[in-house]
Structures are given as C-alpha cells and as structure tokens.
Amino acid sequence: MQLIAGIDLGGTAVNYTLIDLDGRFLIEDLCEHPARSVEGPDVCLQQIEDGLAIAVARVGASMHDVISVGLDTPGPASATGVLSAKGSTNFVHPAWAGFDLPGNLTLRLGKPVCYLNDGNAGALWGHYNIFGRSPATSISAIVGTGLGGGVIVEGKVVTGRAGFGGECGHVLIPTQRIAGLEQATPRCNCGRVGDLESVCSLTAIRNTLLPTFLAQYPGHELASMDVKDAAKKVRGLAERGDPMCRAIFRAQAHALGLFFDQMINTFDPDALIVGGGAIEASHDFQAWFLSEIRAGMPVQREEQADIPIRIMPNGDTAGARGAAIEALRLARAAS
C-alpha cells in the first residue's frame, strides 16, 4: 500500500487525511490530534508525527506506507512554508518566527513534504470535488474569523512569487455600494479599509457590521451583550430569520458578489465556491445566502451569468484534503 497524507496544522489542532495513489480518500470524517503549537516547534512537530501515526494505524497501514505528505497552515508564510519572521497569530512561540515548517517536517518524517497555505488548500479541495483532475478554473472564498480563499487555474493553485497569490480577503471592494454600509468605514486587521475581509468575516461582524446595524435596529436583543459574544450569535439568529442578522449576512453576501464580479472579469472561471464556518448552516440558509451573493453582483454579460456558485463540501477537513491532493499531484508529476 502506498499512501499520501494530508496534514492541516492549526493553532490548537492538527487534522489528517489519507489518500491512495488513485485519489481515493481513506479517512472520510474528522481525524484530529492536539497541536500544542504554543509550546514551540519541537513539541508541535512531535505532535504532528504522533498524530499521523495514529491516523495511519486507523486505516490499517503503517508509516512505511506513507510516501509523501501535503501540509497546510495559516499564514503569513512564504510560498514554500517558511513562517513570517514577524510571527503569526496562530504560532505565537518566538521559535516559530522564520521557521521552515515543511523542511523541518521532511527531516523528522523522512518523507517529502509540500506546502500550501490553508486558504489555498481549502480552495484546491473545493475545486477537486467539483472538477476532479480535469483542467478548470475556480475562485474560492472561505469565510471564517478572517477571510481566506484561493485561485485555481487549469487545476493548479496560484501561489504567486512570494506565496500571497489568492489572498482574496485583501482585495478592495466598493463597500459604499452595500446597503446599510454606505457611511461605514470597514477596516481590516491588515490595515486596509474596504477590503473583502473587512466586511465578510466574523471579525468584521464584531468590529463593523454589528455596531453599524445595531444603530439601525434600536432595542435589538444583541444590543445588551458584549460585542464579542453578540457577534458569535449573529449567524444562528440569521438562520432563524432575525431581520437585523439577515441584513448583516446580506451585506456579507453582497460583498462577496462584488468580489466575485471582479474575479469573473479577471479569470472567467468555471465555478465560484464559498466555504467556511459562516455558512455551516441549514440547506435553506445556504441557498438563501447564495441567492444574495448573486443579487449583489453587478449586471453581467449573458455569457457570464451561468457561472455556478457552489458551497464548499467537507468544511472541517477541506484543508487536509487539499494539501493531500497537492502532494498527490506532485508525486504523479515526479513519477
């Protein structure tokens, strides 16, 4: 048996998947192990190795059967997986600064390790789930605490010169065109004003959307709560039809519509994909949200109007799956 491992390393947990050389996934559900990243690289790399051994044993294989590994992490990091010298929100121990994650994991495991950032890995899985190995182009936006995403052109991830390709969250959009935000000044954690993440993320709900819309809905039940706690309740209330919370999610959907319009006119993609915790909700809510994305797009050419908008499947495992697919692609190319 020859296997490819996919490893999604977060700040607190590592998620694993395994595929064979035909691209069949051997682990279908969530397979996690604690990351202990706050204790630094040595401890965390040992955790990755220990968790991988558990995942491999789960499918009745051994570590000798793993021939290649795909790894993804949150950034900032270079295209080859060297973490930023300025550090990372998810990897706070000082020893992580400038740390070559794939290089050091290769030495520890004795197997080649390739790297994608988590947004690109998730985008690759969403693309592969729709198109398989056929050449196609897709744009993904993954809405969570921030906004990640990726651009896949003819089946390959666009990483760019320094690894910042597909940084969808930092594309500027005309936020003044979004109903309810005409007078707002949405600011992203990166310092930009009016990028996609500044409107379309949990952080945006907390920092901008909730305060802005509460002023338009006086007496709302969330007004009496701490804003951090209130922000986490917006999706659930929106799913149940609360007018203000629906207005907040409508603003986010329209922001995505403006962003996707730019991507359509840049890449002419075969599909647009939306994922992330923000839309891990009922089918009815997802359908409503996708319809609002479409409603937020400017009028398009007839030839462009049929580009589908899809929900990314397997949200919790998308990163590990995408990392494994990239490792499999490279293994095939080398053979």
Each domain of the chain, given as residue ranges in start order, spans 3-111, 125-313
List CB contacts of 297: < 8 A, sequence separation 6 or more.
257, 258, 260, 261
- For the ranges 84-93, 101-110, 125-134, 164-173, the lowest mean pLDDT is seen at 84-93
Residue % of the chain over a pLDDT of 90: 79
Measured CA to CA in angstroms, residue 246 lies from 35, 274, 283, 290, 295 at distances of 36, 18, 15, 13, 14
- For the ranges 38-52, 207-221, 250-264, 273-287, the lowest mean pLDDT is seen at 273-287
Q: Is the pLDDT of residue 91 over 90?
A: no
pLDDT at 138: 97
Q: Which CATH architecture has domain 3-111?
A: 2-Layer Sandwich (3.30)
User: Which band of pLDDT confidence, cut at 50, 70 and 90, is reported for residue 39?
Assistant: very high
pLDDT at 301: 82
Nearest to 125 by CA among 322, 312, 328: 322
Q: Is the pLDDT of residue 253 over 90?
A: yes
**Section 66-71 average pLDDT:** 98
User: Which band of pLDDT confidence, cut at 50, 70 and 90, is reported for residue 11?
Assistant: confident
Q: State the CATH class of domain 125-313.
A: alpha beta
Residue % of the chain over a pLDDT of 70: 100
DSSP H helices in the chain: 41-58, 101-109, 118-131, 202-204, 210-216, 227-231, 234-239, 243-267, 283-296, 318-334
Residue 1 DSSP label: -
- Per-chain mean pLDDT for the chain: 93
Same fold, 3-111 and 125-313: yes
pLDDT at 128: 93
Amino acid at 93: H
User: Which band of pLDDT confidence, cut at 50, 70 and 90, is reported for residue 334?
Assistant: confident
Instruction: Compute the Cα dihedral for 108, 111, 116, 118 and give only its sign.
Output: negative
Q: Identify which has the larger pLDDT, 186 or 161.
A: 186
pLDDT at 304: 84
**Section 308-314 average pLDDT:** 91
Q: What is the pLDDT of residues 102-147, one digit of tens each?
A: 999 999 999 999 999 999 999 999 999 999 888 899 999 999 888 9
Q: Is the pLDDT of residue 88 over 90?
A: no
What token pair was written down for 18? 């395994």
pTM: 0.89
